[in-house]
């Protein structure tokens, strides 16, 4: 196990290195350099231009520039952003990465759950009208033109109904006299969510492993208690309404992301279920006289889960990637929106920095899924 | 003498038998495809847009006046204010710049088809070749190609396209090539290699090698044809991806294209009509729905073909 993880980590690091190489050469493949911006300026004397080039290290050979670049990437210095001057790229990214992670993690969990549940049902009722309707609806949502769909959601739920704010991360009027910075508060919110999910997961694991009767009731009760305690603590600190403001801004993007991405999981679960349903142990389970629901949930679905988990990698990459659009439409100030805004404003350092971080994020997700996979499938031993 | 004549007379009949076999399997697969229903829906939508795309040049040359109906530089002189609502002369109204929406829609359909087709062909050509080579040679070649494919799969596609279009000017042709290369060396080659692995161990490959066939001969004559059904399936998903990426990029205004569905929505957004969905529906719905419908129709056809090709999904 340890050696497997080590080799995977080394592999991921190599991939990261290759990724950085590609980014560097993409940037350098374009003609000219940063001093060309001043080349058209007749007032700039040639020696000033040369000084500029040597200041930026652009007169060095390419391989030396590359070494400096790699060193900078691994020490986290991507230079200064043009459009957020004088903030550094690393600073902008450090502010925005948590927001993206929070958004996508929530959405991925929801869409995975929804997709798996629906996939189970439509595989069991193959050929019925439920299947056709769900498949058509799911595929339409999956391939829907994301900006348009997001816009319709905004128009319907925010513009017409007025249930949610139209976009952005928080309401500036509410935050004008806030005693705390939004980033600090958001960090605390994420810690709370982490603690909550750990508690719920532990209870869930304990009740299923120990085979306690009435497990459902205990799980539900612990969930309610945990959420109640959490809300109580937030109320006590007096920043509850600010946190609620951020959550209100999060609902619509998460809902949209869930709706557009659940179909991938659903269709994969269906196919995986159909393959598993042919196995002999399913026949045996039925012959034992087990109720259909037990056969479906305990025998088929658990074995069908494996390829679906593998696909989580792709769906996560898809979510981050598709999230570029969602974030720009909802003006959610995360990595994707930063990337698009930087690309449109030709803020090259920020665009490259954001791109490298998106890449790192996807690579880490791959590693995480490998670990999860080992836990899920007892047949795999490294 | 008889020995020499025999193969000559056998050859055409052999070809006829092969042809009959191919036709029969085609007919069987076709009826399986029709049985999936979702595939039929997808195919109907694709045909509808194909008709739209093909009839645009005909309409431009016969019924429509070029000065009014040109998708890029036309202007609806017959309307007093732009954007004009749908009328008899402009079935889907005009955009904020006074151009006919239906004409734009039909004109863009053609470039979407071309883009999707080119991206899919590039993807599948690369994917099939790389997959077959990796499966045939194995060892170091396999490792290098597959690690590279892993790298490509991990690339955040839309983000890389955004960065690229910020760095260099990207048009439809370049976009199709970039998408084709990214997915060809990535997902396509992984998928097709796993299929090729099951082909490589077949006895006829052994026989071809024993008969003195070189690597190139075996890869392109014996392995690649057996990968074609799966690669055709993959093409459908690539088309969806390509049309979708193009729409996103031109919606963000990052592509150097003259007209496309994404650009139509970009124009609407730039003119500030984006949230007036109810009042100016013809500025938003035709283009958005077209993107959605065409993407999902190719996806549905792909799913239906999966049911036909993948034996493990066949009904018992």
pLDDT tens-place string over residues A244-293: 888 888 899 999 988 988 888 888 888 888 888 888 888 899 899 888 88
Which tokens hold the place of B32? 């399986």
Which tokens hold the place of A252? 């619509």
Q: Do B41 and A136 touch (CB under 8 A)?
A: yes
Residue of chain A with shortest Cα separation from B276: A155
CB A338 within 8 A of CB A100: no
Number of independent structural domains in chain B: 1
Residue B103 scores a pLDDT above 50: yes
B41 within some domain: yes
Q: Do A346 and B166 touch (CB under 8 A)?
A: yes
CATH number for B176: 1.10.3720.10
CB atoms closer than 10 angstroms to residue A160: 12
Which tokens hold the place of A152? 């319709």
Q: Which residues of A touch B248 (CB under 8 A)?
A: 146-147, 325
B155 touches chain A (CB under 8 A): yes
Of A137, A163, A150, the C-alpha closest to A107 is A150
Ranking A314-318, A363-367, A371-375 by mean pLDDT, the lowest is A314-318
pLDDT tens-place string over residues B143-178: 888 888 877 877 777 878 887 887 777 888 989 999
Q: What is the pLDDT of residue B122?
A: 95
Q: Do B164 and A140 touch (CB under 8 A)?
A: no
Q: Do B38 and A271 touch (CB under 8 A)?
A: no
B280 touches chain A (CB under 8 A): no
Q: Do B151 and A344 touch (CB under 8 A)?
A: no
Residues with Cβ within 8 Å of A381's Cβ and at least 6 positions away in sequence, in order, are: A1
CA-CA distances (angstroms) from residue B316 to A46, A274, B305? 79, 11, 17
Mean pLDDT, residues B79-95 taken together: 85
Q: Which residues of A touch B168 (CB under 8 A)?
A: 30
Q: Which residues of B touch A334 (CB under 8 A)?
A: none
The span from the CA of A172 to the CA of A253, in Å, is: 19
B41 touches chain A (CB under 8 A): yes
The span from the CA of B147 to the CA of B153, in Å, is: 10
Is ipTM beyond 0.90?
Answer: no
Out of B167, B252, B295, the one facing A340 most closely (by C-beta) is: B252
Q: Which residue has the higher pLDDT, A379 or A77?
A: A77
User: How distant is the Cα of A359 from the closest Cα of chain B, in angstroms?
Assistant: 7
Q: Which residues of B155-179 are buried (b: 16+ CB within 10 A; e: fewer)?
A: bbbbbbbbbbbbbeebebeebbebb
Q: pLDDT over 70 for what percent of chain A?
A: 89
Residue B3 scores a pLDDT above 50: no
B164 touches chain A (CB under 8 A): yes
Identify the burial level of A92 via C-beta atoms within 10 angstroms of its C-beta, where 0-12 means exposed, 13-18 middle and 19 or more buried.
Answer: buried
Interface with A, mutate which of B149, B153, B159, B301 (most A CBs under 10 A): B159
pLDDT tens-place string over residues A84-139: 777 888 888 888 888 888 888 888 888 888 999 999 888 888 877 888 888 888 88
B227 within some domain: yes
Residue B42 scores a pLDDT above 50: yes
Residue of chain B with shortest Cα separation from A158: B275
B181 touches chain A (CB under 8 A): no
B165 within some domain: yes
Length of chain A: 382
Q: Do B288 and A145 touch (CB under 8 A)?
A: yes
Query: What mean pLDDT is reported for chain B?
Result: 86
For chain A, give every domain's residue range.
2-74, 95-179+239-376, 183-237
Mean pLDDT, residues B106-120 taken together: 93
Residues with Cβ within 8 Å of A108's Cβ and at least 6 positions away in sequence, in order, are: A261, A312, A315, A316, A319
Of A330, A331, A332, the C-alpha closest to A98 is A332
User: What is the topology classification, in CATH, of domain A95-179+239-376?
Assistant: MetI-like fold (1.10.3720)
pLDDT tens-place string over residues A169-196: 878 777 787 777 778 888 888 888 888 8
HEC sequence for chain B: CHHHHHHHHHHHHHHHHHHHHHHHHHHHHHHHHHHCCHHHHHHHHHHHHHHHHHHHHHHHHCCCCHHHHCCCCCCCCCCCCCCCCCCCCCCCCECCCCCEHHHHHHHHHHHHHHHHHHHHHHHHHHHHHHHHHHHHHCHHHHHHHHHHHHHHHHCCHHHHHHHHHHHCCCCHHHHHHHHHHHHHHHHHHHHHHHHHHHHHCCHHHHHHHHCCCCHHHHHHHHHHHHHHHHHHHHHHHHHHHHHHHHHHHHHCCCCCCCCCHHHHHHHHHHCCCCCCCCCCHHHHHHHHHHHHHHHHHHHHHHHHHHHHHCHHHCCC
Q: Which residues of B touch A155 (CB under 8 A)?
A: 275, 277
Q: What is the pLDDT of residue B243?
A: 92
The span from the CA of A317 to the CA of A311, in Å, is: 10
The span from the CA of B158 to the CA of A18, in Å, is: 19
Mean pLDDT, residues B250-270 taken together: 88
B10 touches chain A (CB under 8 A): no
Q: What is the pLDDT of residue B150?
A: 78
The span from the CA of A33 to the CA of A48, in Å, is: 15
Residue B132 scores a pLDDT above 50: yes
The span from the CA of A252 to the CA of B202, in Å, is: 53
Q: What is the pLDDT of residue A71?
A: 84
- Please report which confidence band the pLDDT of residue A36 belongs to, taking 50, 70 and 90 as the band edges: low
Q: What is the pLDDT of residue B6?
A: 47
Residue A162 scores a pLDDT above 80: yes
Residue A327 scores a pLDDT above 90: no
Question: pTM for this one?
Answer: 0.81
Residue B193 scores a pLDDT above 80: yes
Q: What is the pLDDT of residue B114?
A: 93
Summarize chain A as % helix, strand, coil (round to 5). 80, 0, 20
HEC sequence for B90-124: CCCCECCCCCEHHHHHHHHHHHHHHHHHHHHHHHH
The span from the CA of A114 to the CA of B286, in Å, is: 30
Mean pLDDT, residues A322-330 taken together: 81
CB B74 within 8 A of CB B67: yes
B162 touches chain A (CB under 8 A): yes
Residue A20 scores a pLDDT above 60: yes
Q: What is the pLDDT of residue B239?
A: 93
B21 within some domain: no
Q: What is the pLDDT of residue B207?
A: 92
Residue labelled with tokens 């590609």? A22
Residue labelled with tokens 């085979």? A211
Out of B253, B265, B292, the one facing A143 most closely (by C-beta) is: B292
Q: Which domain does B146 fall in, by range?
A: 35-75+92-309
Residue A343 scores a pLDDT above 90: no
B161 within some domain: yes
CB B136 within 8 A of CB B219: yes
Residue of chain A with shortest Cα separation from B244: A145
Q: Which residues of A touch B254 (CB under 8 A)?
A: 343-344
Ranking A21-30, A84-93, A169-178, B302-311 by mean pLDDT, the lowest is A21-30
Q: What is the pLDDT of residue A381?
A: 55
Residue A317 scores a pLDDT above 70: no
Ranking A195-204, B164-173, B294-303 by mean pLDDT, the lowest is B164-173
Of B251, B254, B244, B246, the C-alpha closest to B168 is B254
Q: What is the pLDDT of residue B1?
A: 40
B54 within some domain: yes
Q: What is the pLDDT of residue A43?
A: 74
CB atoms closer than 10 angstroms to residue A269: 26
Length of chain B: 316
Ranking A52-56, A138-142, A279-283, A294-298 by mean pLDDT, the lowest is A52-56
B299 within some domain: yes
- Please report which confidence band the pLDDT of residue B261 belongs to, taking 50, 70 and 90 as the band edges: very high
B275 touches chain A (CB under 8 A): yes
- Please report which confidence band the pLDDT of residue B54 belongs to, taking 50, 70 and 90 as the band edges: very high
The span from the CA of A335 to the CA of A103, in Å, is: 11
């Amino acid at each position: 196990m340890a050696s497997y993880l080590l080799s995977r980590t080394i592999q991921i690091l190599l991939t990261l290195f290759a990724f950085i190489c590609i980014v560097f050469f993409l940037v350098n493949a374009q003609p000219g350099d940063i001093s060309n911006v001043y080349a058209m300026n007749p007032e700039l004397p040639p020696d000033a231009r040369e000084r500029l080039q040597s200041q930026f290290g652009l007169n060095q050979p390419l391989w030396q520039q590359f070494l400096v670049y790699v060193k900078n990437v691994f020490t986290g210095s991507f230079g200064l952003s043009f459009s957020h001057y004088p903030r550094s790229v690393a600073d902008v990214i450090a502010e925005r990465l948590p927001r993206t992670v929070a958004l996508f993690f929530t959405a991925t969990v929801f869409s995975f759950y929804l997709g798996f549940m629906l996939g189970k049902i439509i595989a069991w009722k193959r050929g019925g009208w439920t299947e056709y309707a769900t498949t058509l609806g799911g595929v339409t949502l999956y391939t829907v033109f994301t900006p348009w769909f997001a816009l319709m959601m905004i128009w319907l739920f925010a513009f017409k109904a007025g249930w949610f704010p139209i976009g952005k991360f928080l309401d500036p009027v509410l935050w004008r006299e806030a005693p705390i910075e939004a980033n600090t508060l958001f960090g605390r919110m994420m810690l709370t969510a982490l603690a909550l999910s750990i508690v719920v997961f532990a209870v869930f694991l304990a009740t299923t492993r120990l085979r306690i009767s009435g497990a459902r009731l205990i799980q539900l009760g612990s969930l309610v208690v945990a959420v109640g305690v959490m809300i109580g603590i937030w109320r006590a600190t007096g920043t509850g309404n600010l946190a609620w403001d951020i959550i209100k801004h999060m609902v619509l993007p998460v809902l949209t992301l869930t709706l557009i991405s659940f179909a991938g999981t659903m269709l994969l679960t269906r196919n995986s279920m159909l393959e598993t349903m042919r196995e002999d142990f399913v026949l045996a389970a039925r012959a034992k006289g087990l109720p259909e629901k037990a056969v479906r949930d305990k025998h088929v679905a658990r074995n069908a889960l494996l390829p679906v988990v593998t696909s989580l990698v792709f769906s996560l990459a898809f979510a981050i990637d598709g999230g570029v659009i969602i974030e720009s439409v909802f003006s959610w100030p995360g990595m994707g929106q930063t990337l698009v805004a930087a690309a449109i404003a030709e803020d090259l350092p920020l665009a490259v920095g954001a791109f490298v971080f998106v890449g790192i994020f996807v690579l880490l997700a791959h590693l995480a899924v490998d670990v999860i996979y080992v836990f899920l499938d007892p047949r795999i031993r490294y | 003498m008889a020995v020499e004549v025999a193969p000559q007379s056998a050859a055409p009949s052999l070809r006829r038998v092969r042809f009959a076999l191919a036709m029969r399997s085609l007919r069987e697969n076709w009826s399986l495809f029709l049985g999936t229903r979702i595939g039929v829906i997808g195919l109907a939508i694709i045909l509808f847009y194909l008709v739209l795309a093909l009839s645009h040049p005909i309409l431009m040359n016969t019924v429509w006046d070029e000065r009014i109906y040109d998708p890029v530089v036309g202007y609806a002189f017959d309307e007093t204010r732009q954007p004009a609502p749908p009328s008899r002369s402009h079935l889907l109204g005009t955009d904020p710049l006074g151009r006919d929406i239906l004409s734009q829609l039909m004109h863009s359909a053609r470039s979407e088809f071309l883009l999707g087709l080119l991206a899919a062909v590039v993807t599948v050509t690369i994917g099939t070749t790389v997959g077959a080579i990796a499966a045939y040679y194995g060892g170091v070649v396999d490792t290098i190609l597959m690690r590279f494919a892993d790298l490509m799969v991990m690339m955040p596609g839309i983000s890389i396209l955004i960065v690229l279009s910020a760095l260099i000017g990207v048009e439809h042709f370049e976009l199709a090539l970039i998408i084709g290369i990214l997915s060809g060396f990535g997902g396509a080659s992984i998928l097709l290699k796993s299929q090729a692995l099951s082909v490589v161990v077949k006895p006829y490959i052994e026989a071809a090698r024993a008969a003195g066939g070189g690597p190139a001969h075996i890869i392109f004559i014996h392995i690649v044809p057996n990968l074609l059904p799966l690669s055709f399936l993959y093409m459908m998903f690539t088309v969806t991806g390509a049309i979708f990426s193009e729409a996103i990029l031109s919606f963000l205004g990052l592509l150097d294209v003259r007209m496309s569905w994404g650009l139509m929505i970009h124009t609407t957004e730039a003119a500030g009509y984006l949230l007036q969905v109810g009042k100016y529906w013809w500025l938003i719905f035709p283009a958005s729905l077209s993107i959605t419908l065409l993407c999902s129709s190719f996806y549905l056809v792909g799913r239906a073909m999966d049911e036909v090709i993948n034996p493990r999904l066949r009904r018992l």
